[in-house]
Amino acid sequence: MRGGRKGVAINSVQAKAFEPNRTRRLRLTHFFSTVSFVGILIVTACLFFAYREFTVRQLIDHESRANAHLTRAFANVVWDNYRGFMLGSRGRSREELLADPALARLRADVLTYTRGLKVAKIKIYNIDGLTVFSTDPRQIGEDKSANGGFRGAKAGRVMSDITYRDTFDSFEGVLSKRNLIFSYIPARGWPEDAGAGLPAEPEGVFEVYSDVTDLLEEKNRAQWQLAGIVLTALETLYFFLFFVVRSADRIIQRQERERAEEEERIRRNNHVAANERGDAHCSARLPALKGPATSCPR
């Protein structure tokens, strides 16, 4: 009888090997939906800010070149008339500069040549950093020699950046809530003053402010439109992949059900087979048993 019970125990252990895995199954569709949604948001945000940075830098570069061209054109027209005034401004006080008749003529020429342009302010520094001219007269006589933009232009480079101002004094009065690109541009001397094949040394620095509020708003609208297009494309891809994953998940669920049913069938068959072997072993030993036993115990 111990042999019969041993056979039943062995087969019970074998049957357990076929029991279905009760661990929690990964919810593939839910996992895909969550991860994909987060991924779409991250990708869209990254593209949004990368495009914004690219467009703003492109706008700064474009306006910087435009300001440089404007300054060179302006210098070519008026520099001959005011070169002596600029070079002779070194060491002069604010009062002396304001009293010089050349300043009023320079202001009139600046307003004439910049009429109709997106120029909001122009300042001219001598080589020492003294503000010799500004469309805002209150700034004439200021020392800007320590300014990084001035120092870069004095070294021969064009320096530009973008700024936002709640209020800004321009040609046409006070502007509010404007985006401005400012450029520091070297004003070079006459080519014949330089060596052969070398550019003339800067004799002063122009600071030009361009109003790019409208351009930046157009860029922002284009940026949001691009973000909408990208988001729509990613959502389309998301729903396509979602249906593919959901179909695959249903196939996996069906296969798991079929596997569980097969394992249950095998377990039942093993149980029945174990009982039959136990009964056969017991029946074979009945003639040798002593006592009144006439059947195998269950």
Q: How many domains does the chain have?
A: 2
Same structural domain for residues 130 and 169? Answer: yes
End-to-end CA distance of the chain: 10
DSSP symbol at 117: S
Cβ neighbours of residue 35 closer than 8 Å, sequence gap 6 or more: none
Q: What is the pLDDT tens value at each position of the chain, 298 positions in all?
A: 444 444 444 444 444 444 444 444 557 677 777 888 888 888 888 888 888 788 888 877 887 788 777 777 777 777 778 888 988 998 899 999 999 999 999 988 888 888 888 888 899 999 999 999 998 889 999 999 999 999 999 998 888 888 888 888 777 677 778 888 888 988 876 654 545 555 678 888 999 898 888 888 887 888 888 888 888 888 888 888 888 888 887 888 888 888 888 888 888 888 777 777 766 666 666 565 555 555 555 5
What is residue 34's predicted lDDT score, i.e. its pLDDT?
82
Q: Is 278 exposed, middle or buried (0-12, 13-18, 19+ CB in 10 A)?
A: buried
Same-domain pairing of 76 and 181: yes
Are 189 and 253 in a shared domain?
Answer: no
Residue 69 inside a domain? The answer is: yes
Q: Are residues 15 and 57 in the same domain?
A: no
Contact of 79 with 190, CB cutoff 8 Å: no
> Does residue 39 lie in a domain region?
no
Whether residues 258 and 148 share a domain: the answer is no
- pLDDT the model gives residue 7: 46
Cα–Cα distance measured from residue 270 to residue 296, given in angstroms and rounded to the nearest whole number: 20
Are 209 and 230 in a shared domain?
no
| Domain termination site, one of 216, 245, 262 | 216
- The first and second tokens of residue 145, run together, are 């020699």
The reply to whether 176 and 113 lie within a common domain is yes
Give the per-residue pLDDT at 246: 81
Task: State the residue range of the domain holding 118.
Answer: 44-216
Residues 173 and 233 reside in one and the same domain: no
Burial zone of 272 (CB within 10 Å; 0-12 exposed, 13-18 middle, 19+ buried):
exposed
Same domain, 85 and 232: no
Q: How far apart are CA 182 and CA 219, in angstroms?
A: 18
Q: What is the pLDDT of residue 296?
A: 56
Query: What's the DSSP call for residue 129?
Result: S
Give the burial class of 68: count Cβ atoms within 10 A of its Cβ; 0-12 exposed, 13-18 middle, 19 or more buried.
Answer: middle
Kind of pairing, strands 119-126 and 202-211?
A: antiparallel
Contact assessment for residue 75 and residue 187, using Cβ atoms and an 8 Å cutoff: yes
Contacts of 196 (CB under 8 A, 6+ apart): none
Maximum Cα interatomic distance, the chain, rounded to a whole number of Å: 142
Residues 194 and 274 grouped into a single domain: no
Same domain, 160 and 238: no
Do 140 and 229 belong to one domain? Answer: no
